[in-house]
Amino acid sequence: MKAGKNIHYLQSELEQKIQEDLSIFHFIEASALDGLWYWDIENPDEEWMNARFWETLGFDPSQMPHKASAWQTLIDPDDLRLSLDNFNKHCADPNHPYDQIVRYQHALGHTVYIRCTGMAIRDDSGHPIRMLGAHIDITQLKVTQNLLQDRVALLDQANKLAKTGTWNLDIATSTVTLGKMASRILNLKQDYAYDFDDIMGILYGVHKDKMHATLDRLKASPSTFDDEFNVSIGSDQHLWIRVIGTSVFEDGTCTHIHGVLQNIDEQVRTVRQLAHQEQLFRKTFENASIGMALVGLDGSWMRVNQSICRMVGYTEDELMALTFQDITHPEDLDNDLSLLQETLDGVRDSYVMEKRYYHKKGHLVWVLLSVAIVRDDRGNPLHFISQITDVSKSKRNELELRKSLGRLESIYQNNTQIAMIELDPMGLIVSFNEGAENLLGYQRKAVMGKTFKDLFMLEEELNERIDLSEKSYNRGAFCVVIDSVHEHGFDRHEWKFRQKDGSYLPVQMTVTPMWDENDSIYQYLAAITDISKIHEAQVEVETLLNVTTAQNDRLRNFTHIVSHNLRSHTGNLQMLLDLLSLEDSSLANHEIFPMLQEAAQGLHNTVEHLNDVINVHSIQGETMVSIDLNGLVDNVLTGIKAMMANAGAHVKIDIPKGLMVKGIPAYLDSVVLNLITNSIKYRSPKRPCEIQVSARPKKDMVVLTISDNGLGMNLPAIGDKIFGLYQTFHKHSDARGVGLFLVKNQVESMGGRIELKSKPDEGTSFHVFLRSSG
C-alpha cells in the first residue's frame, strides 16, 4: 500500500497505534487476511506463518512446522514455478510486483485458490534479506468465475446446436452487429457493424416490409417480437430463420433492439414437405381409380374414397356406417381376419388377398385387397390402409377359363379312343393320355420325356414322305411333319405306328401347334386315331368297287351285244323277210308271213328300246349347260311338223323370252319330244288336239308344263307304274311303254323331277321341274 501525499489523519493515527499496540496488528493479521507469512531469505527453510495460513488450507496450525517446505508440497507445481519466477523478478526489481493466484490442495482434497502477494525487505545496500507475504482466499470467487465460463461455453454450444445467434441493432448509428453463430447462419461477418439498410437487403420481398413494420412497432414502445423470415444467403440460396427481438429503452428513447435469430430452415422445409405429402396422399386417396380406405383397428372405416363406394354401390355415408366385415363374403372373412391379426401382431407388415364383397344390390364383387398397417413412431398400430381393386371381370374370365380348361383337360384325359400326345419342340413326349395308353400299349410314365418319333414311327415312312416333299431335312426326319405344321397350321397324315407289342397299327395323326401368350409355338399336340377299321372298310369298298366294275363291264358287254350283235341279227331277220317277200310274192300271201314280219319288227323295236335305256345310264356324268328353253321347244316342234299336221294338232307356247335352264341338250330334247308326241299320240278322237307348252321360274327351279286335252289317264289306278319300263296305258298302236321311263330318268339325271296330273277324257299335264340357270 503506497502512502499518498495527503494522508488521512485516521490513517496516520492507525499507523501510530499499530506501532504502539501490538494487539491491533494481531487483530488485522487474524481477521483481515487468510494467512500471513514472513520468510528468511538468507535461511530459506525458515519461515513463520500465522495460524490462519494453515486454517485456510484446512490444517491444524499447532501440528504444522514453521518451515517453507511444509507448504511446498501442497501448492500446484505450475503455480510454484510462477511464484518463484515472480519472486526472482521482484528481488531484482522492486517495481515488479509479487502478486499471483495459486492453487493449494485443501486437506480435504479440493482446490483452494489463494491470491498471494509479497514484499521483499531489503538491507541497507538494497539486498533482499526477508520476505513478507499475505494470503487472500479467493476460492469462492474463482469457482463462480469458472462456473460463469462454463455457462458461456455451454451457451455457445447451445447456440451452435440450436443454430441460434445473437444480433443487435443500434438505433443511433443504424447499424446491425451479429454474434458468432448469427454471422455463421447468415454467412456474414462476426461483430461487424453492418448498415441497417444493407442487412435488410437479405430479406425476401414481402418479409422486408414485415420486418420494417415490426421494428417500427418496437421502436415506438418497449416490446418483443418472434417471427419467421426468409432470407437470401448467397446466390440462389434461401434460408428460413426465426428472429426474436426486444427493444431496449433509455430515458424514454429506444437505444437498441437486440435478440437472437435461429436457423429453422430444416424445420420449415420438413413441415412444408409434410404438408405437401399430406396433400399428395389426400388427393391420391380421394381420386384414386382403385378403392382406398383407412380402416380402424376395430374394422370400422375411417375414410373411404369414391372408387370403393362405386365398387360396392354404397354412398360414402352408407359405407361409413358399416364395417368391412359387414360387406365381406362370410367364406372370405376368416382368412381376412386372421391375416389382419397377423399384421396387427407384427408377424407381417402387409398382406394381399382375393376376396368377395357384397354389392349393395346383392351381387358379389371380386376384389384384390392389399392391406398395410400404419404404426406410430413407437410402433403402436394406428390403423390399416387398404387398397382395393375390382377384379370381377378378370375373375369371371378366370373362372370361365378355368371351366373351359377343365373341360379341355377332361376331354384330353378321358378320351380313351383318341391318343392325345403333347410334344415339346425337340419332339419329346410331354404328356400322354389314356387314349394313347389304350392305342399304343405304353404306360404314361414309361414314355414321358422319350422321343416320340423313335418310339412309334417308322423311319422309312417318314423318309418316303420326305422324298415326296422334294425338300431336304437335315434336322431329323420328324421335321417333315413339323415343317408342314408351320406351313399349313396343322399336319394330317396316315401312318403306321409301332405298338408296344411290336405290331403295327394304321393311324391318322393330326399335329397342331400350341401357342403361348407371346404367340410363339411352345409345344405340339398330336391327336392320333386308329384307322384300322376304316382301312378294313376301305378294303371292303374296294372289293365292292371291283365287283361293281366287273358288273359294269359285263353290262357294257351286254350293251355291245344288244347294240351290235342282237341288232345285226334282227336286222338280218328283217332283211331276209324283205327279200323273201320280194322274191316269192306267194309267200307274202301266206297267213303266217305277216305275223313273222310283225314278230321281227317287234324284236327290232325291243332291241332299240333296250338301247335307249342303256344309253341313258351310260351318258350320266355328261356336263350340264345353259339351255334357252324357247329355242329348244321351237327346234323340237320343227322336227315334228309333219306329225303335227297329220294329227291336226295345235301347239300354244308360253315361255318367257330368254328363260334359261341347266341341262343336257340331248336329254331335254328327248323329254320335250317325248311329252309332245305323247300328247299327239294320245289325243282324243272327240276334239281337235290342243297342246300348251309353258314355263315359269319357281325359286331356283323352272317348271316346264306340257298339257293336252287328250285321252287322259285314271291316275289312282295307275299310280307309280306310269314311269315304269314297259308300261303302256293306252290301247294305242304306237304305245311303246318306254317313253315315260326314259323321260323320268333323263329329268332326274339333270337334277330335276317330273309330276303329272291327269283325268280320263279331259287331258294330261306334265310338270317338269328343271334347274334354273344362273
Partner 1 sequence: MKEEAWIIDDNNTYVFGAKRFIELVNGCKKVNVFSEAPRATKQLKKRIQNKEQLPDVILLDINMPVVQGWFFLDAIQDLLSDEMKRNVRIYVVTSSISELDRLKALSYPIVREFVNKPLNLEKIRSIMAA
- Name the site residues for partner 1 (rule: CB under 8 A): 563-565, 567-568, 570-576, 578-579, 582-583, 608, 611
Minimum distance, C-beta of residue 589 to partner 1, in the bound complex (Å): 19
- Displacement of CA 352 from its chain's centroid (Å): 16
Helix (H, G, I), strand (E, B) or coil at 269: helix
Minimum distance, C-beta of residue 578 to partner 1, in the bound complex (Å): 6
Tell how strand 650-654 and strand 625-628 pair up. Answer: unpaired
Minimum distance, C-beta of residue 438 to partner 1, in the bound complex (Å): 57
Minimum distance, C-beta of residue 530 to partner 1, in the bound complex (Å): 48
Q: Which is nearer to partner 1, 350 or 563 (CB)?
A: 563
Minimum distance, C-beta of residue 573 to partner 1, in the bound complex (Å): 8
Q: Which is nearer to partner 1, 254 or 610 (CB)?
A: 610
Residue 237 CA to residue 233 CA, distance in Å, equals 6
Minimum distance, C-beta of residue 602 to partner 1, in the bound complex (Å): 14
Residue 466 CA to residue 551 CA, distance in Å, equals 40
Q: Which is nearer to partner 1, 61 or 571 (CB)?
A: 571
| Best CA proximity match to 434, nearest among 450, 411, 451, 457 | 411
Minimum distance, C-beta of residue 581 to partner 1, in the bound complex (Å): 10
Name the one residue in this structure whose C-alpha cell is 417318314.
Answer: 462
Tell how strand 650-654 and strand 690-698 pair up. Answer: parallel
Residue 679 CA to residue 517 CA, distance in Å, equals 75
Q: Quick check: 304 and 312 in contact, CB under 8 A? A: no
Q: Which is nearer to partner 1, 451 or 611 (CB)?
A: 611
Minimum distance, C-beta of residue 736 to partner 1, in the bound complex (Å): 16
Residue 721 CA to residue 266 CA, distance in Å, equals 117
Q: Which is nearer to partner 1, 136 or 580 (CB)?
A: 580
Q: Which is nearer to partner 1, 584 or 761 (CB)?
A: 584
Q: Which is nearer to partner 1, 617 or 687 (CB)?
A: 617
Q: Which is nearer to partner 1, 508 or 574 (CB)?
A: 574
Minimum distance, C-beta of residue 732 to partner 1, in the bound complex (Å): 25
Distances (CA, A) of 465 to 459, 462, 484, 493, 534: 10, 5, 11, 10, 22
Minimum distance, C-beta of residue 583 to partner 1, in the bound complex (Å): 8
3-state secondary structure 617-637: HHHCCCCCEEEEHHHHHHHHH
Residue 52 CA to residue 58 CA, distance in Å, equals 10
Q: Which is nearer to partner 1, 42 or 578 (CB)?
A: 578
Edge-to-edge strand list for the sheet holding 253-263: 194-195, 175-178, 164-170, 253-263, 238-250, 224-232
Q: Quick check: 62 and 81 in contact, CB under 8 A? A: no
Q: 430: which residues sit within 8 A by CB, 6+ positions away?
A: 422, 423, 424, 448, 449, 523
Q: Which is nearer to partner 1, 581 or 674 (CB)?
A: 581
Surface-to-core class of residue 681, CB atoms within 10 Å of its CB (0-12 exposed, 13-18 middle, 19+ buried): buried
